[in-house]
């Protein structure tokens, strides 16, 4: 007997893109519905699922996508699409519910928003939360058994709510705060959300209701920011309450200091004026909590930031990176998610063979120098020594060869792929994390050189540091690119016929 066929809508979004591999790992067949299927091609699981094109507002296309489906996940939201997003949400939900009934779908699963309890508080909640609640009611009203999971802030890299928390905390050591920072919130780790979503496949047909889902901790937004600062290694944030700061003004403020789009920031901020905590935990009767228990807030933060803590940021922001856990980022996450990362990229096509250029790269540092403005490197090393760092005194283990783990002046060799890649992690005193990466490739007899400096700032001081040293990048990093290319060309080992192109 075939395993259940699950349709995932919103597979190009935050939750959908993480749900698909979890369903596959559980042994279920998966079909993805997308208005633009090409957006799914970069996912590592794309060749293991069926992908159908459908506009969620087109009844005929939606009905075709639902044909033969056992469980359909409704993960579509018009949040951020404009002031009439609630009308779009309502129409889309009605279209999907009718098509699911006509197709004989066995179950619908919807992830909604956790809002206030019924009564005046619910009526006074934000348009965003009211729309989420209305969509849940529309799906529950259709004859298809439906499970509506209601969650508050989801903690995971790429979640809009989490990214807003990240940027506000990292960028503002002192901030004026509106009343909503005192609202009580019950956040939940993305891994626990996915645990419940996958578990819904096995719910019996008689289960047709909504469930509140949340983590084990209830905190104010202010406390969430302070806990984030502690886990991220930042100083305690100073918050100055300003009661007259309205949600509308707050959303403009959030848009000013974070890269979260204003169309998303406003409804998210408006939602925070309501208390969002679980009123029941009935779901455990059918779907047990994870074997190791629900993830606490601090642990969820650690998981969301673990790539940074593991010093793997260079691949964390690579389009080729494959996530190892639901809390990891995806290549298709929005550009504004994932925290701040500054990048300086320099490229060249030196008139030298790839092997000749690699010899220069592998010999960099120590007595061999850095092929750019020696005075700048000496001054930076001296400043690092004054601040208690290692400076340039460590040199290098071997004058010609490097291996993973080697110290290299105030860098550490993090990755070596002979002839192709060298990645160094900074161990100097910095208000953040820094990497220097060299990659080589060849095509058509030409050697392509790419040099990348990455900096992940820690707090406002980290951002200030990057912009303070930015004017010198052209001399230091631009000079390094030119110096390495020149040294390789002068080595006398350039491949015949590799004329190369000028550095750019």
Share of the chain above pLDDT 90, in %: 44
| pLDDT the model gives residue 94 | 96
Q: Tokens representing 458? A: 């820690």
CATH 3.30.2130.30 fits 342-490, yes or no: no
| pLDDT the model gives residue 363 | 93
Confidence of residue 501 (pLDDT cuts 50, 70, 90): very low
- Tell me the backbone φ, ψ of residue 64, rounded to 5 degrees: -65, -40
Share of the chain above pLDDT 70, in %: 81
| pLDDT the model gives residue 42 | 73
| pLDDT the model gives residue 380 | 82
Widest distance between CA atoms in the chain: 81
Q: What does pLDDT average to over the chain?
A: 83
| 136 to 76, 159, 202, 212, 325: CA distances (angstroms) | 12, 21, 20, 12, 28
Average pLDDT (419-423) is 94
Encode pLDDT of 390-413 as tens digits. Answer: 777 778 888 889 988 888 888 899
CATH 3.30.530.20 domain position(s) in the chain: 342-490
| pLDDT the model gives residue 497 | 46
| 450 to 166, 353, 423, 487, 493: CA distances (angstroms) | 30, 14, 12, 16, 20
Least confident stretch, 28-32, 305-309, 419-423: 305-309
In this predicted structure, the answer to whether residue 319 has a pLDDT above a threshold of 70 is no
Handedness of CA 249, 254, 260, 266 (dihedral sign): negative
Cβ atoms of residues 3 and 29 within 8 Å: yes
| pLDDT the model gives residue 9 | 95
* Pairwise CA distance, residues 217 & 185, whole Å: 8
Helices 160-171 and 221-231 pack at an angle, to 10 degrees, of 70
- Residue of 37, 96, 36, 40 lying closest to 64 (CA atoms): 96
Confidence of residue 378 (pLDDT cuts 50, 70, 90): confident
CATH topology of domain 5-316: Rossmann fold (3.40.50)
Q: Greater confidence, 263 or 340? A: 340
In this predicted structure, the answer to whether residue 65 has a pLDDT above a threshold of 50 is yes
| pLDDT the model gives residue 481 | 94
As beta bridge partners, residue 106 has none
Least confident stretch, 31-45, 96-110, 218-232, 390-404: 390-404
* Pairwise CA distance, residues 126 & 129, whole Å: 5
Encode pLDDT of 234-286 as tens digits. Answer: 888 887 777 666 656 666 666 666 666 666 666 677 777 778 899 999 999 99
| pLDDT the model gives residue 119 | 45
| pLDDT the model gives residue 92 | 93
| pLDDT the model gives residue 498 | 43
Q: Greater confidence, 427 or 209? A: 209
CATH 3.40.50.720 domain position(s) in the chain: 5-316
Task: Cite the DSSP H helix spans in 142-277.
Answer: 160-171, 190-199, 221-231, 247-257, 262-271
Encode pLDDT of 425-483 as tens digits. Answer: 988 888 888 899 999 999 888 999 999 999 888 777 888 888 888 888 988 999 999 99
Encode pLDDT of 132-170 as tens digits. Answer: 889 999 999 999 999 999 999 899 887 888 888 888 788
| pLDDT the model gives residue 391 | 74
Encode pLDDT of 89-103 as tens digits. Answer: 899 999 999 999 999
Q: Tokens representing 352? A: 């030298």
| pLDDT the model gives residue 318 | 32
Confidence of residue 224 (pLDDT cuts 50, 70, 90): very high
What is the per-residue burial (b if ≥16 Cβ within 10 Å, else e) of 233-244? ebeebebeeeee
Average pLDDT (204-232) is 93
Q: Greater confidence, 38 or 219? A: 219
Confidence of residue 124 (pLDDT cuts 50, 70, 90): low
| pLDDT the model gives residue 64 | 96
Q: How many CA atoms lie within 13 Å of 288's alpha carbon, on the beta-carbon side?
A: 4
Confidence of residue 495 (pLDDT cuts 50, 70, 90): very low
Confidence of residue 186 (pLDDT cuts 50, 70, 90): very high
């Amino acid at each position: 007997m075939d395993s259940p066929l699950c349709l995932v809508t919103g597979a190009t979004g935050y939750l959908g893109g993480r749900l698909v591999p979890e369903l596959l790992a559980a042994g279920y067949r998966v079909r993805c519905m997308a208005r633009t299927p090409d957006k799914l091609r970069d996912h590592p699981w794309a060749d293991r699922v069926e992908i159908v094109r459908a506009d969620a507002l087109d009844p005929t296309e939606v009905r075709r996508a639902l044909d033969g489906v056992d469980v359909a996940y409704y993960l579509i939201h018009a949040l951020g699409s404009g002031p009439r997003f609630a009308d779009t949400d309502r129409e889309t939900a009605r279209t999907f519910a009718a098509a699911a009934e006509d197709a004989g779908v066995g179950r619908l699963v919807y992830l909604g928003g956790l809002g206030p309890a019924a009564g005046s508080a619910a009526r006074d909640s934000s348009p965003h939360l009211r729309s989420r609640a209305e969509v849940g009611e529309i799906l529950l009203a259709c004859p298809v058994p439906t499970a509506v999971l209601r969650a508050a802030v989801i903690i995971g890299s790429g979640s809009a709510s989490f990214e807003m928390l990240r940027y506000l905390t990292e960028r503002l050591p002192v901030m004026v705060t509106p009343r909503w920072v005192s609202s009580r919130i019950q956040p939940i780790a993305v891994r626990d959300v996915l645990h419940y979503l996958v578990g819904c496949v096995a719910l019996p047909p008689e289960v047709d209701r909504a469930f509140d889902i949340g983590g084990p901790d209830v905190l104010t937004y202010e406390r969430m920011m302070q806990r984030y600062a502690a886990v991220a290694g930042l100083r305690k944030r100073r918050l100055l309450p300003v009661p007259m700061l309205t949600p509308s003004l707050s959303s403009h403020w959030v848009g000013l200091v974070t890269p979260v789009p204003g169309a998303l920031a406003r409804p998210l901020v408006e939602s925070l004026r309501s208390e969002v905590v679980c009123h029941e935990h009935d779901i455990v009767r059918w779907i047990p909590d994870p074997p190791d228990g629900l993830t606490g807030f601090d642990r969820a933060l650690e998981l969301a930031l673990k790539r940074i803590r593991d010093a793997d940021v260079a691949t964390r922001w690579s389009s080729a990176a494959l996530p190892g856990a639901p809390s990891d980022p995806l290549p298709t996450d929005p550009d504004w998610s994932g925290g701040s990362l500054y990048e300086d990229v320099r490229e060249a096509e030196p008139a030298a063979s790839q092997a000749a250029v690699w010899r220069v790269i592998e010999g960099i540092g120590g007595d061999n120098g850095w092929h750019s403005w020696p005075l700048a490197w000496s001054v930076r090393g001296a400043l690092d020594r004054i601040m208690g760092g290692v400076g340039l005194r460590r040199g290098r283990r071997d004058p010609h060869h490097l291996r993973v783990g080697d110290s290299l002046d105030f860098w550490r060799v993090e990755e070596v792929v002979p002839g192709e890649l060298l990645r160094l992690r900074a161990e100097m005193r910095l208000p953040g994390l820094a990497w220097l990466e060299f990659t080589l490739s060849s095509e058509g007899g030409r050697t392509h050189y790419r040099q990348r400096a990455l900096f992940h700032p820690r707090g406002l001081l980290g951002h200030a540091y990057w912009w303070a040293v930015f004017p010198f990048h052209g001399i230091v990093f631009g000079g390094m690119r030119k110096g390495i290319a020149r040294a390789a060309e002068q080595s006398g080992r350039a491949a015949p016929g590799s004329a190369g192109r000028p550095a750019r």
